[in-house]
Structure 1
Amino acid sequence: MYTPPFNRADDETELRDFAAAVRVGWLATSRAGAPPAATLLPFVWTGDTVVAHFARANPHWREIDDDTPALLIVTGPDAYVSPSWYPAKAEHGKVVPTWNYSAVHLTGTARVHDDPEWLRAAVTELTDHHEGRRAEPWHVSDAPDSYVEGQLRGIVGVEITVTGVEGKAKLSQNRSDADRTGVVEGLRADGRPGDLGVAEAMAASLARE
């Protein structure tokens, strides 16, 4: 991950919170002699382990041997930044467009799991994680056991042992506070979902400084 010093995010607790809030990421792997493959997967990251699963019909999992190098890319909101939002434009005009975003990259090794007990435990963990914030969460045990067993036959688990974590928050930290405030106001005025997410992240970053 290319990360200028002013965009680097190093606090692992914050990176874990970010990944837990996004809850889904692109798993990319590459095996010698095969083209790179990538799949968007819901996941749970606990300790140094990420748990997820593929649809069995997805050929990606067949490209994963034990300890295959893997990259999980977790991205948050992103947005185009217009130079017209910078007060500096009126001062000297030396401004250009950019794109703001936040991301976490987890690197490590992947292996697949096809054991029914492992799969049931993984699906239960994923479900509890994603349903946990709901007032009346759904549980795997709510469905008939025979139905769950049939669904488990349609998936293959994947486990990633995380060996490296990198975080980046590109939120115009290289601009003046006035320019950054102008971007926040511009993004809020445009009002697109990604724009609003970036605006809130930028506002929080400004408030912490």
Structure 2
Amino acid sequence: MLVHPWDAGLDEVEWQTWIADGHDFGQLSVNGLAGHPPMAVPTHFTCDGPRLLIHLAKPNPVWKAIEQDAKVVFTVIGDYAFIPGPWRAKPGTPPTDGVPTSYYAAVQFTCRAEIIDDPEAKAELLRRQLAHFQPDGDHALVAVDQPPYGRMLSGIRGLRLEVTDVRAKFKYDDHKPVEHRSAVADRLTERGQGLDVPTARQQLRRLDRIGPWKP
């Protein structure tokens, strides 16, 4: 992932706050087996300190690849929008001369994967995930000897991803003039399609922190 200086995370707190703000779905990427392409698996995840917690179905073909090479990448992408060329045209030039781009936030974790097969360890992983996704506790007890989860644990494997590196990218034209960024945020809010509004919020948040870009 290419990260220009103006796209980089401003500090660790920025990407940590972004992840904590409901960005808990990403893509696990692993090296492929000999002669096969890399594998990618979309899935929810939970943060556990410097680790990410995931569980997948036992029949998933990704397991053999992880057993062969535990080095994996997990990527979270959100707050994205397509920015039409006319929105980015320089003042005094024809709108059609503007070059379109994509805005987005992305956090990429490089990890070492540990497979979890012990029933109690898998139950604890599920308890931690449910505490995040269903904090009201409106679910049955997760116990190895009680239904419904006890009999289902054999059908999954857990993954504990030990994070070894983090790269964060917030691509919102932060190297452009303040007036340009503010105008694009207004246009995103007015268009209001897909993730336009949260994208505008990210752009304005970065604008408030950075102001005019200084190399």
User: 1:10, CA displacement in angstroms?
Assistant: 4.4
* Larger helix fraction of residues: 1
- 2:143 is equivalent to residue 138 of structure 1: no
CA-to-partner distance for each residue in 1:132-180, whole Å, 9 max, x for gaps? 2xxx442441899221112212211111111100100001112111111
Distance 2:185 2:119 in 1: 49
Alignment-derived partner of residue 25 in structure 1: 26
Distance 1:66 1:45 in 2: 25
SS of equivalent residue, structure 1 residue 6: coil
User: 1:31, CA displacement in angstroms?
Assistant: 4.2
User: 1:92, CA displacement in angstroms?
Assistant: 2.3
Alignment-derived partner of residue 132 in structure 2: 129
39, 42, 48: which one aligns with 2:41: 39
- Retained in 2: the 8 A contact 1:54–1:61? no
CA-to-partner distance for each residue in 1:86-118, whole Å, 9 max, x for gaps? 4x5452245211110000000021121111111
Alignment-derived partner of residue 52 in structure 2: 50
Cα RMSD (Å): 2.1
Q: Structure 1: which amino acid aligns with 2:71?
A: P
Alignment-derived partner of residue 3 in structure 2: 3
Give the number of the structure with larger relative contact order, counting CA–CA contacts within 8 Å between residues 6 or more apart.
1
- Retained in 2: the 8 A contact 1:66–1:111? no
Taking structure 2 as the reference length, the TM-score comes to 0.87
Structure 1 spans left out of the alignment, 5+ residues: none
Task: Give me the identity figure in percent.
Answer: 28
- 2:172 is equivalent to residue 171 of structure 1: yes
Moved over 3 A (4+): none
User: 1:35, CA displacement in angstroms?
Assistant: 2.3
Distance 1:184 1:2 in 2: 23
- Retained in 2: the 8 A contact 1:172–1:180? yes
Taking structure 1 as the reference length, the TM-score comes to 0.89
Q: Structure 1: which amino acid aligns with 2:108?
A: H
111, 114, 118: which one aligns with 2:114: 111
